[in-house]
């Protein structure tokens, strides 16, 4: 009897376990749309892209209000674009559902959403005729609008806009709402709208870290909370708080509230767009420049360090080897360029040399791209510097800021790993049988990370060489093209020659060359791999767009 009871209980347990398994399977199938015919197609790319468009729509709506209050002519154009973004984004989001979440699809979703928002982001400029000039064809006008939009969303800061106002002559050539939208493009792109999507899309679950890793700069992604969505919310809260603090600091330093808000929107994301032709040089204010340097250095550092400092660890900056290298790089470059400028007598005495060198080193080392020149030929204009300081500037543009920051470039951590790889190669050459790990600050770097960094740096250099060949073949000057390609891929902003900080890219590069530079901006912002994987397996992606009508 005891044996029979035991078998009976085992059978009941097995039956209940099987029934529970079937119920779970049924619930999963129902969640995926298998229970009844569904008109929603499975497309992760369209689903994420739709939410990205929805995220940008409120910014366009606010910009239309600013344009209307300022008496500009583009208010209805901005409002129409806000409705278009909202309508298209809503239809893409509601008409699709998440499909395959393989790494290839994750990277492709991030890349296509960025490309879609950047290209459609040119519509406010096109409809508002922002780049309309006598003798300029509509094709060139459209290309300029796309270039400005891509430069904004990728936080590059290169511009082709030549009709910005001045403090002495604030002619309303461009409406306040259009200028505000232009600044907002960099604020959206700084933290990334895909990361903003994750905060409102918990259905991604554990796959959300893949999206964050595909969009966040750097070889690794720091988790600030157990859940990826909570990590994204923390980063956005910190980002919004930093923007507000930067705006307050600008006001205290002497800016008007309107200017402070606009420049904080592009300082926090290390973007570099200004509402004036001479950038921060328009104010000719040392307190403003000092505060901007502090804010730019903050933006170029890892946001995970900032959060750790605010919540639990007051010495995290001192212990982080990448942060120490980042600050040391800026300090050494500033001292070296100051000495060169002072010795050459190019910009005046020691105070002028120190001010010009320090500001431009921090601006370009953090990939922000603000300028402090008060016009062409003034001390802050890097175009008038000799070759030696410009070589250091070019190296800063190549390296950029820290991983996990809003800065561009190849990142300080990758440069350090590359140096460590070189050191290991020499050590192994001396002792072929030795096992020498790659170390950073005493910590061993995993071989998988070493391999990815090596591949990334090779691809990065290949894109620089290929981009330089194409841009010069299209008519670009060699000096301007070299700095333009390195700056576009690193999301830096100004270049050399006719594309310096007191000029624009419109006169330095032909229209086709500017479109090539725009592509490099997106490739650099998404760190190459997402752009390369967005074209992977197109047939399979098209097949997945077909609606599934399976029933359980």
**Measured at the alpha carbon of residue 85, what is the angle toward residues 84 and 90, in degrees to the nearest 5?**
100
Left if phi > 0, otherwise alpha if psi is -120 to 50, otherwise beta: which for 441?
A: left
Query: Does the residue 244 lie in any domain?
Result: yes
Average pLDDT over residues 214-226: 54
pLDDT at residue number 65: 96
How confident is the prediction for the chain on average, in pLDDT? 83
Are residues 463 and 486 in contact, defined by beta-carbon separation less than 8 angstroms? Answer: no
Residue 143 near residue 174 (C-beta atoms within 8 A): no
The closest of 156, 435, 135 to 272, measured between CA atoms, is 156
Least confident of 32-36, 112-116, 382-386, 418-422: 32-36
- Residue 33 pLDDT: 43
Strands 96-97 and 41-42: parallel
Is 88 domain-assigned? yes
- Whether 6 has a pLDDT exceeding 70, the answer reads no
Phi, psi of 379 (to 5 degrees): -55, -35
Q: Is the pLDDT of residue 17 over 70?
A: no
- Lowest-confidence region among 72-81, 127-136, 226-235: 226-235
Q: Is residue 33 part of a domain?
A: no
Closest CA to 216 of 232, 205, 200: 232
Mean pLDDT within 314-322: 90
Say how far apart CA 374 and CA 454 lie, in whole Å.
41
Structure confidence at residue 5 (pLDDT): 41
Q: Are strands 443-444 and 41-42 parallel, antiparallel or unpaired?
A: unpaired
Q: Sort residue 485 into left (φ over 0), alpha (ψ -120 to 50) or beta.
A: alpha
197 vs 205, residue with greater confidence: 197
In terms of DSSP H, where are the helices of 254-312? Answer: 257-267, 286-299, 303-311
pLDDT digit string (tens) for 159-169? 999 888 777 66
Q: What is the mean pLDDT of residues 72-93?
A: 93
In a domain, 17, yes or no: no
Handedness of CA 119, 122, 123, 129 (dihedral sign): negative
Within 8 A by CB and 6+ apart from 281, the residues are 371, 372, 373, 374, 375, 378, 380
Query: Among candidates 145, 150, 198, which has minimal Cα distance to 174?
Result: 145
pLDDT of residue 203: 52
Q: Does the pLDDT value for residue 52 go beyond 80? A: yes
Classify residue 208: in a domain, yes or no: yes
Question: Band of the pLDDT at 327, cuts 50, 70, 90?
Answer: very high
Helix, strand, coil shares of the chain, percent, nearest 5, are: 65, 0, 30
Any residues with CB less than 8 A from the CB of 102 and at least 6 apart, and which?
A: none
Nearest-angstrom CA–CA distance, 160 and 263: 18
Whether residue 545 is predicted with pLDDT greater than 50 in this model: the reply is no
- Whether pLDDT at 60 is above 90: yes
Q: Is there a contact between 279 and 374 (Cβ–Cβ < 8 Å)?
A: no
3 state DSSP class of 180: helix
DSSP symbols for 493-531:
---SGGGSTTS-HHHHS-HHHHHHHHHHHHHHHTTTHHH
Specify the pLDDT at position 221.
53
Quick check: 234 and 228 in contact, CB under 8 A? no
| Predicted local distance difference test score (pLDDT) of residue 198 | 60
Question: Which residues neighbour 447 within 8 Å (Cβ) at sequence distance 6 or greater?
Answer: 438
DSSP at 347: S
Query: pLDDT tens for residues 241-288?
Result: 999 999 999 999 999 999 999 999 999 999 999 999 899 999 999 999
Q: What is the enclosing helix (H) or strand (E) of 439?
A: strand 439-440
Q: pLDDT for 421-463, tens place per residue? A: 888 888 888 888 878 888 887 788 888 888 888 888 999 999 9
Answer whether residue 8 is part of any domain: no
* Residue-level pLDDT at 194: 63
C-beta separation of 249 from 291 below 8 A: yes
Using pLDDT thresholds of 50, 70 and 90, give the confidence band for residue 7.
Answer: very low
pLDDT score at 301: 94
The lowest-confidence range among 219-223, 266-270, 355-359, 401-405 is 219-223
Please indicate, yes or no, if residue 548 is contained in any of the structural domains: no
- pLDDT score at 352: 93
pLDDT in tens, 363-407: 999 999 999 998 888 889 999 899 999 999 999 999 999 988 889
What pLDDT does 527 receive? Answer: 79
User: Alpha-carbon distance 226 to 369, whole Å?
Assistant: 35
Range of the domain at 152: 41-420+439-543
DSSP state of 545: T
Task: Yes or no: say if 518 and 492 are a contact pair by the CB < 8 Å rule.
Answer: no
Take residue 192 and report the two structure tokens written for it. Answer: 């990334």
pLDDT tens digit string along 453-504?
888 899 999 999 999 999 999 998 998 999 999 999 999 989 998 888 888 8
Instruction: Please check the confidence at residue 204 and state whether its pLDDT lies above 90.
Output: no
Q: Which of 86-100, 182-196, 285-299, 514-528 has the highest mean pLDDT?
A: 285-299
Sequence-ordered list of residues with C-beta below 8 angstroms from that of 256, at least 6 positions apart, any chain = none
**Is residue 330 one of the residues assigned to a domain?**
yes
Angle formed by the axes of helices 103-120 and 75-94, nearest 10°: 160
Give 22 or 284, the one with higher predicted confidence.
284
Residue 345, pLDDT > 70, answer yes
Per mean pLDDT, which of 28-32, 217-221, 503-507, 548-552 is the most reliable? 503-507
Relative to beta strand 443-444, strand 96-97 is unpaired
List, in order, residues 6 or more apart from 18 with CB less than 8 Å away: none
Count of the separate structural domains present in the chain: 1
Report the predicted TM-score, pTM, of the whole model to 2 decimal places: 0.86
């Amino acid at each position: 009897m005891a044996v029979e009871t035991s078998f009976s209980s085992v059978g009941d347990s097995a039956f209940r376990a099987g029934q529970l398994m079937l119920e779970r399977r049924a619930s999963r199938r129902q969640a995926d749309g298998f229970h009844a015919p569904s008109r929603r197609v499975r497309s992760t790319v369209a689903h994420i892209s739709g939410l990205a468009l929805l995220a940008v729509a409120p910014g366009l709506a606010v910009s239309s209000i600013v344009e209307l209050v300022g008496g500009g002519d583009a208010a209805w154009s901005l409002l129409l674009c806000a409705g278009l973004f909202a309508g298209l984004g809503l239809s893409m989001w509601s008409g699709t559902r998440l499909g395959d979440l393989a790494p290839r699809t994750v990277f492709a979703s991030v890349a296509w959403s960025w490309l879609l928002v950047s290209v459609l982001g040119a519509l406010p400029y096109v409809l508002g005729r922002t780049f309309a000039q006598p003798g300029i064809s509509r094709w060139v006008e459209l290309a300029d609008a796309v270039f400005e939009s891509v430069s904004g969303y990728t936080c590059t800061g290169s511009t082709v806009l030549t009709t910005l106002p001045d403090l002495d002559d604030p002619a309303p050539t461009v409406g306040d709402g259009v200028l505000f939208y232009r600044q907002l493009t960099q604020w959206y792109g700084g933290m990334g709208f895909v990361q903003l999507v994750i905060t409102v899309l918990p259905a991604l679950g554990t796959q959300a870290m893949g999206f964050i890793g595909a969009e966040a700069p750097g070889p690794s992604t720091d988790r600030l909370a157990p859940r990826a969505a909570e990590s994204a919310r923390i980063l956005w809260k910190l980002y919004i708080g930093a923007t507000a603090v930067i705006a307050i600091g600008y006001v205290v330093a002497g800016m008007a509230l309107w200017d402070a808000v606009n420049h904080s929107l592009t300082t926090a994301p290390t973007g570099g767009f200004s509402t004036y032709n001479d950038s921060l040089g328009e104010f000719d204010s040392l307190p403003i420049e000092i505060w901007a340097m502090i804010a730019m250095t903050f933006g170029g550092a890892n946001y995970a360090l900032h959060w750790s400092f605010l919540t639990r660890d007051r010495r995290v900056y001192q212990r982080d080897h990448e942060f120490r290298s980042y600050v040391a790089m800026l300090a050494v470059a500033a001292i070296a360029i100051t000495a060169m400028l002072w010795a050459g007598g190019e910009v005046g005495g020691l105070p002028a040399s120190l001010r010009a060198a320090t500001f431009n080193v921090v601006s370009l080392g953090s990939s922000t791209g603000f300028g402090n020149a008060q016009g062409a030929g003034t001390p802050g204009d890097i175009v008038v510097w000799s070759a030696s300081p410009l070589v250091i500037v070019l190296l800063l543009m190549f390296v950029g800021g820290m991983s996990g920051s809003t800065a561009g470039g190849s990142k300080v951590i990758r440069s350090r790993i590359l140096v460590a790889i070189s050191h290991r190669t020499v050590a192994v050459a001396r002792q072929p049988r030795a096992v020498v790990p790659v170390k950073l600050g005493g910590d061993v770097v995993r071989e998988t990370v070493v391999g990815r960094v090596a591949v990334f740096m090779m691809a990065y250099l290949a894109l620089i060489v290929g981009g330089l060949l194409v841009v010069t073949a299209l008519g670009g000057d060699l000096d301007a093209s070299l700095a333009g390609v390195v700056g576009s891929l690193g999301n830096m902003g100004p270049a050399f020659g006719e594309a310096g900080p007191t000029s624009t890219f419109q006169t330095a590069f032909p229209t086709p060359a500017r479109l090539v530079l725009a592509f490099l901006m997106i490739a650099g912002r998404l760190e190459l791999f997402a752009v390369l994987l967005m074209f992977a397996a197109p047939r399979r992606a098209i097949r997945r767009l077909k609606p599934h009508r399976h029933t359980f």
